Structure 1
Amino acid sequence: SAKNQVDTEHVAGNFLRAGWRLVPDGKADVVVVTTCGFVEESAQQSVDTLMDEIDLKNAGETQMLVAAGCLPDRYRTELVDAMPDLDLVVGVLEMTELPTMVEQWRKDRKRRWEFSSRALNDPVRGERLLSGPPWRAYLKVSDGCNQGCSFCVIPRIRGAHRSAPLDELVAEARSLVDQGVLELSLVAQDLTSYHTDIDGQNRLVELLERLDAIDGLEWIRLLYAHPAVMTDPIIDAMARLPRVLPYLDIPFQHVSDPMLKAMNRHMDKAGHERLLTTLRRRIPDIALRTTLIVGMPGETESDFEELLEFVEQWEFDNLGAFVYSREENTPAFKMAGQVDREAAEERLERLMLLQQKISRDKLARQVGKTMPVLIEEELYLEHHDRYTHIGRTPSQAPEIDGLTYVHIPEDVDVQLGDIVDVTIEDSTEYDLFGSVEE
């Protein structure tokens, strides 16, 4: 996830500052695997990666293997018992100290998985080594969550909501812009509650205003907003601040009132409808992304039909959906009415087919319009016909949304990382196609 990526970039930066070098796979003395344990599927992917690295370690290709992040926080003793080849098992709040811990291991070769030296409460901080293209980065404004959704294990892994200080975030953003970043995507488990844990005041608007004033920053994008705390002042700030994109990622999870109550979402269906009405009225060109869960315990066919009707009515620009994952140590784990996996998968397929049609129709309406596109990749494949580059419009977030394929004439000088005006001439279900004028 984007939030994990930021943690990893901070850890890499801390290692560089401590005198370490980053080297390609197969050349490292120390391998750090930043894991995810949010749902069963991501936990399994992390375990698979660790097993691959254990094989490499046993083959003599690396000296030390570290499991870090969410998986140790969730399954620390199980990991320690099941994988004796792990030298360090380090949770999220301990990751800042990794260079020191690794140096200690190199001195005494003693396996460690419990650290009681001090309670670390800050989100992972420090200088960052960017792992993506130099023109875009994520800014993680907080860690943890207090919303208490019944299906979610994040509070148990990441802890309570903890915001980074405002001045620190602005300084980090300036540093990123100085390195060439044009697009900053704000991420958190609960973006919209920013700063409330520090002084009881929501300071997301103030943060947006200060970021908007940074020279050289072109696009500011908001990801992971919680609908129950999406206030009018935040919407007004989005509408008036020129660098804040008309784009919002706002996971609804469901819309039927029984499901919203079972999920403990602090908002009813009518509240979601009022919020969408306000967003579309105040920011007419806004692109909305949401995330939905199907197959939650107790979800009836009627609940699901209500969800389909809502999606059809409100036409989200981008939509991600998942089958409910039954996670231990969550209230939903013990709920009655667990939905048959096959039925849930079938609901997911119906939902995504509907969204595919909505996306196709919405993108077809963009044909003929001219819009800014951030150019990110050059195409060399002949079968792409006349399209020479790939980029993204303001409506397309990195890594999760569609792309825009662009024809740039040979005599037009465009570099990767440039934002150029593109006239849209075609579309598919999820992608746009257009040209730069000569």
Structure 2
Amino acid sequence: MNQKRILAVFMAAILFVSALAPMKQAAAASDPISINAKASILVEASSGKILYGNNIDESLPIASMAKIMTEYLVLEAIDEGKITWEQTYTPNDYTYSISQIRELSNVPLRRDGSYTVKELYEAMAIYSANGAAIALAEVVAGSEANFVKKMNDKAKELGLKEYDFVNATGLENKDLNGNHPEGTTEDDENKVSARDMAKLASRLIQDYPEILETASIPRKTFKEGTEMPNYNWMLKGLIYEYEGVDGLKTGSTNSAGSSFTATAEKNGMRVITVVMDASDGSGDLKSPRFKETKKLLDFAFNNYSVEELYPAGHQLKDQSSVPVVSGKEKEVQIQTDKPLKVAVKNGEKENYKAKYVIDKKKLNENGELTAPFKEKEAVGKMVVDYSGEEKDYGFLSGETGGEVNVITKEGVEKANWFVLTMRGIGGFFAGLWNSVVQTVGGWFS
């Protein structure tokens, strides 16, 4: 190869590397924070707005974060009166044997002991006690196998997409000493995506906010003297204390790694974070999840605030009414039922624009609302579109969210037969007159 050819190849290589550099810089710039985890997500709780996300839809092992679903079903059963806090439970051979394995996180239950639902619930929510979680599953559903079916049914009902619940604890089934729930295998484990973990946590806090009263307890003593330190080290007074953190659930197994679903409220904004299989290169399963969660929380509280973009009663100028058929009025004004609030990045408020999404099922084929209907009849939603240059991660439910209902400003009664008849006659003669005008006009054209 002559010198000219060598020089040409060398220059081409330099140009190729130079071309790659801006691409790498662009890729780095598109990721506002670098989270060392297989998957991570940051969500503003009230609107479901995703403020950051990475690999949020891959189904991954969740370890004891599965207990968030167990907590939901227990609190639901309490709320519906199916069980009570004072109801007692005596361990069977299965729950007793699991509760004795201290390396799995447990309060050791006595074979002849009697424990209230409240005691078992606190052991599960504070100390992630696995025997207690199985006991609660049996209280709620009769057996852990029945409870697992409830877990998956509830996941579907709540709108989760990527999930598979196989036990009430989050343990790998192989750790259950051959007692894995019927319908599952020894190799199974609970798996959920980061998006769906955030969605589940959001619904738990929304539907049963009392969970935070228990999840925020840093330490408690079980009835038989067992100390129950909370594994959430970001709570007040613990090693990774972070202002505003009051939940929710850690998880760690060999397959799930260092994982954590957290929630914190600060400056009037609540956020939910999920990190799955976080790592700092040390092999530690405890600390990395808190270090990475701190990055997400710092990013949220330093850059975002919940803003009221539109007040209650807001109307879009070109869609302030809908036509009405069979009513005393021929149209009705529509407006939002409450303020629309969204977490907005500093300086980005003007980049959000509202639009109505009218429910076509509410209207007839001509786009009319049929009378009679009452005041505040919901006819659709108002959502916001983002037009700025920041990466838009959408909402937990998809591309749209932060929505409020669009309702009728007044009710409209059905017109009586005489009014409807006269309108029909008027419409007939109006049509006839228009036809005559067009015909006569044609004679002189």
| TM-score (ref. length: structure 1) | 0.27
Greater C-alpha Rg: 2
Greater fraction of residues in strand:
2
Give the structure, 1 or 2, with the largest relative contact order (CA under 8 Å, sep 6 or more): 2
